[in-house]
Chains A and B, each alone.
Chain A
Amino acid sequence: MRRLFIFSLAWFCFITLGISAQSDPKAGAKKILTLRAAAEKAKTLLSNTSDTNQSETKKLSDLLSDEMLKRVESFKSSKRGEEPGRKWLEAWRLQELEKSVNETIEWAKEQSPLPINRTEVLKRAAKNWSKEASQEVNEYAKKTLNMVYSKARELASTEQLKKLRENMAYPSSEELNNRVTMLFEKTAKGIQPLSSDKFADLDNWLKGMVVNTGPVFDEVTKKVSEMSADFRRELAKQYKAQFEIIRNEVQGNKYAPALKARSELYVSSLDKLKEGIKENLTSKPPIYGTFKAIEKLAERAAAHWEAKRLENFLKTAKVWMPNEKELEKDIRSNLTKHLLTKDSLNLLTEKYFKQASSLVSKQYGGDKLSNYFDEEFSKAGDLARTLTNQFQESLKQNVNAVRKRIADEQFSKKFSFLQDDNFPEEPIIRWYHERGKSTVSSFQDLADSLSIDENGRSQIFEETRRMAVQKMNQLIQPALKSMRVQVQLIKELEKQNIDQLKIDVSERIPVDQILRKWEADWQNTWNKKQEQAVPKWRSKFNLVGEELNKVVRQLYEGMEYAMEKRPSSIDAPSEELGGDADSSTSDAVPTQNEQPEPQKKEEKPEQTAKGGTENKTEGITEELKTYIGLADGVFAFSDLPNGRCRMLFGAPSGAGGFILEFDPQNVQGAAKLISEGLKRPLGIVLEKNSEKENSGFFNLLGSSDGDSEIKMLFKVSTPAVRHQMSILVRQQVEKAIDEWAKKSGRKAPDLIWQDDVEL
């Protein structure tokens, strides 16, 4: 009953207070005003969506980036991450709105004397608060996303990358040093440091540092793959920074001037490195101490500059070298041993080097380092090499000066005849002409041509020899050219007069008369061409008369013989080969002719040449090589043990080489055999000659007028083959050249025919 009374009393008080409160218009008005103010505040919060200031953008970016880092999978892709980003912004905005509304309600409760209900406030602020709030946050998220998302993503990816970098398993100092040192030793040359791009060789190894990153943003994925490359660049940067500390020393020899030994130079560099590098292996990425590779570079530089410093000393100080007087005395005391500069240098080095080495050790090393340098000079190292080189260089200068003086003396004494106006006489010129030489190529030639005996040659310095050869060339080259042109005129004359000669022979005109006529023709032609020669060498050489005489008489005899055999034919020279009429028997069948298929042999002349064994081929090539420099094609006739003859043909290079056996007594058969056998090899030789001409590397004929030439040597080492054979073969060769030119469409080269009859 008592409880019931208390309850009733409480109820009465509540009702009474309620009634009194409601009857107080002031309190009621204040409540309504407060509700209104709160509602306006809430409405303002709701409509206050669009303005996102810079500080709020930054704050949101930070918050969203945190969210991204928490949910990397959802935000992995930039594009697909926008939707969760927008949703997060909506949620954030809704939460912020709720918070602001709550604050407003609390504020309203403080302002009003009567209780304030949240629902009342929200009902006044919006028709449908939850719906409008939802629309507002949606709109806010849409508007803000563009401003916030990219920045947040950038922050998140930067943070993620930073953490990944911090979690990287950086290599230990020892491990890294092994790799870098290996790289340095493999690629760096001399005192050059490793270039930054060389560090790329470490990429495969460095990739192992990036392990188990877990889910990462797409843009970070690429950077993760570049992390090892970034670290590599960092390494290269650290390496370069270390190198910069000692660059002046390593590349500029900027050591203290007093330092000479490599150990001193090396220690100087190490001290600088120690002072300049602050190792911090705990930082990310670690800052490594001095790389072993840098130490090795400093070591190399120390060795390099030790030698260079010595070299500078040797170049400036000459007291350690023997003087010129000493050297001249040594050379003059035994000229025979000093013929060559090389020998001089060797002999003098052998004599003076030890003395010089000892002097350098004392003067350069001083008391402190003389023993060290002595030891170094005795070993085969850089210092010994530097000393040797400098010694030889200095010695060479001095020796050359001395030798020049001696050579001048020798030249003026022993080759004074070269200054004579009558030099060279025709026999000397003919000596070179007959050997197909257009220049004096060696002192040996010079000495042979001038018949200087061995004793005379034994004390002539190489410098003297060169001077003599040079002078000789100046004198003899114009003479040789004139002689060559004069002899060439005979050949032209021969072509020009051959038909007339046939008629003259058929009319039985005496050979002497014909010869005079030919001499007159030659002189006429020469008169027109002699301006090509220098004035000194415009007179007719005796050789011309002799050659004219020989040619006319041989042709005459040959044609006379042919006419006796076939008086009606004037083509005999091209059909027959030289030889005695008596000896032209039917059993003179060449070996080649005995073959059942001569056509086959024509196609493969080299097979014929090969005979049966390869040794024979090699023999041909080797034999042809002996004519290198003498001609473009060679006909070499020699005897065989079985009484037959052998003709070797081919270019000195071996092209078109083949061997033919024939019976020298059977002139007809031999002619036919040679004619058939030559067709293909001659073509090959012509082709080769043409290629060589075109290649332009050299011209065996020494032609300077641009026209191509082919030089054929007709070498006869058997008495069975006469000069007539040369004429007939030459005619066939000329014919073949013309045919080849027509067929190939090229210009026919001028044929230079050179007889060399040993017997």
Chain B
Amino acid sequence: MKRRKDLAGLDHLISGKKAKARRSPNLSPNDALVQVALPLVLILAIITRLMVIEYTEAVRNKGPRILEMWKQQLILRIDTVMDAWERDAELSAFPDFQRVQWKGALPNDQRFSTLCTKAQEMNDRSALQDDLYNSALAYEPPEGEEETALQFITLYDPLAKAQPEDPSMVSEDFVINEERRSYALGYVTDRVSKWKEQVEGLQWAAVARCADRLPLVDSAGKSDGVSAQLMRVSEELKRRGYPLLNSLVEEYVKSD
């Protein structure tokens, strides 16, 4: 019997006919999509995400757990200063765009306004980073917080704007040389980059929403391009206290 089937298969091959695909009589393509493929895709997506998280954690935990003193002191000081900047900028209030308050076609949110205004400092990133670095070196805890103050040890960077009263008193371990300075600035840069990415995301979303809702302008027979639309929205937001980052405003200038 089996031999007869094999022979029939050979005949079909010779004559060019394909053997009819055997299908499950109870499974249609829609059934296959809904019952099998979608759950499978979801499972795959979850697995992928879990793998990414695992990999990120692995990388994070790759370095030595115990940092050097100058490094600890640098991170402490920089984080303190940058946290303060984040608070001032109300950055932490907007983990996503949905937090922004709106009225009609334009935002109506003081904190978002503060963020946009404060974020203008990022237009000159090197200055901001330099300023943050110098501020971190010069940081002194407020009076009355003696316990906290004990954590801060004076650091000496011969190139910094603020210098200790007597640099010779500073231990060699806390003198910032080229390498240490580079590390410190890298640290600042990473965090500023994240800020910028977050602010840009918020502002692009704001631009999209404004552009979507603002009425069309009667250009009296002269139609403008996308750049002009962006400029118009940007001007409108700026006029209302929501200045956009230069990197947004100049998006099409760059491409031009």
Q: Which residue of B lies closest to A108 (CB)?
A: B226
Q: Tell me whether A40 and B223 are in contact (CB under 8 A).
A: yes
From B207, B219, B221, A33 is in contact (CB under 8 Å) with B207
A113 to chain B, nearest CB (A): 11
Q: Tell me whether A12 and B223 are in contact (CB under 8 A).
A: no
Hey, which chain B residues are within 8 Å of A34, CB to CB? 226, 229
Q: Tell me whether A40 and B224 are in contact (CB under 8 A).
A: yes
A322 to chain B, nearest CB (A): 104
* Cα of A655 to Cα of B217 in the assembled complex, Å: 115
A543 within 8 A of B: no
Segment at the B interface, from A24-32, A252-260, A330-338, A557-565:
A24-32
Question: Is the contact region of chain B dominated by helix, strand, or loop, or is it mixed?
Answer: helix
Q: Which of B45, B204, B223 has the most chain A CB within a 10 Å cutoff?
A: B223
Q: Tell me whether B219 and A40 are in contact (CB under 8 A).
A: yes
A44 within 8 A of B: yes
Hey, which chain B residues are within 8 Å of A41, CB to CB? 223
Q: Tell me whether A25 and B204 are in contact (CB under 8 A).
A: yes
Contact with B along A29-67 (1 / 0, CB 8 A): 111111111011101100110010000000000000000
From A4, A37, A47, B226 is in contact (CB under 8 Å) with A37
Q: Tell me whether A44 and B97 are in contact (CB under 8 A).
A: no
Hey, which chain B residues are within 8 Å of A125, CB to CB? 216
Q: Tell me whether B208 and A28 are in contact (CB under 8 A).
A: yes
Q: Do A8 and B41 form a contact, CB below 8 Å, given A26-B204, A36-B211, A39-B216?
A: yes
A698 within 8 A of B: no
Hey, which chain B residues are within 8 Å of A29, CB to CB? 204-205, 207-208, 211
Contact with B along A5-34 (1 / 0, CB 8 A): 001100110011000000001101111111
A124 within 8 A of B: yes
B230 within 8 A of A: yes
Q: Which residue of B lies closest to A16 (CB)?
A: B45
Hey, which chain B residues are within 8 Å of A26, CB to CB? 200-201, 204, 251
A396 to chain B, nearest CB (A): 98
B154 to chain A, nearest CB (A): 43
B29 to chain A, nearest CB (A): 8
Segment at the A interface, from B32-40, B72-80, B188-196:
B32-40
From B45, B202, B212, A12 is in contact (CB under 8 Å) with B45
A164 to chain B, nearest CB (A): 44
Q: Tell me whether B200 and A4 are in contact (CB under 8 A).
A: no
A140 to chain B, nearest CB (A): 14
Q: Do A12 and B207 form a contact, CB below 8 Å, given A34-B226, A125-B216?
A: no
Contact with A along B214-235 (1 / 0, CB 8 A): 1011110111111011100100
Hey, which chain A residues are within 8 Å of B44, CB to CB? 12
Hey, which chain B residues are within 8 Å of A30, CB to CB? 226, 251
* Cα of A217 to Cα of B86 in the assembled complex, Å: 83
B22 to chain A, nearest CB (A): 11
* Cα of A48 to Cα of B221 in the assembled complex, Å: 6
* Cα of A44 to Cα of B223 in the assembled complex, Å: 7
Q: Tell me whether B37 and A4 are in contact (CB under 8 A).
A: yes
Contact with A along B36-80 (1 / 0, CB 8 A): 111011001100000000000000000000000000000000000
Hey, which chain B residues are within 8 Å of A31, CB to CB? 208
Q: Do A124 and B37 form a contact, CB below 8 Å, given A28-B205, A40-B224, A48-B221?
A: no
* Cα of A39 to Cα of B226 in the assembled complex, Å: 11
Q: Do A40 and B217 form a contact, CB below 8 Å, given A32-B211, A33-B226?
A: yes
Contact with B along A193-223 (1 / 0, CB 8 A): 0000000000000000000000000000000
A111 within 8 A of B: yes
Q: Do A25 and B226 form a contact, CB below 8 Å, given A33-B233, A36-B216?
A: no
**Which residues from chain B sit less than 8 Å from chain A, CB to CB?**
32-33, 36-38, 40-41, 44-45, 97, 200-202, 204-205, 207-208, 211-212, 214, 216-219, 221-226, 228-230, 233, 251
Report 30 cross-chain contacts, Cβ distance below 8 Å, ordered by A residue: A8-B33, A8-B38, A8-B40, A8-B41, A11-B33, A11-B37, A12-B44, A16-B45, A25-B201, A25-B202, A25-B204, A26-B251, A28-B204, A29-B204, A29-B208, A29-B211, A31-B208, A33-B230, A33-B233, A34-B226, A36-B211, A36-B212, A36-B214, A37-B224, A40-B219, A44-B219, A44-B221, A47-B221, A51-B221, A111-B226
**Which residues from chain A sit less than 8 Å from chain B, CB to CB?**
4, 7-8, 11-12, 15-16, 25-26, 28-37, 39-41, 43-44, 47-48, 51, 111, 124-125
Other contacts beyond A36-B214, A37-B226: 11, CB < 8 A: A25-B97, A31-B208, A36-B211, A36-B216, A39-B216, A40-B219, A40-B223, A40-B229, A44-B221, A47-B218, A125-B216
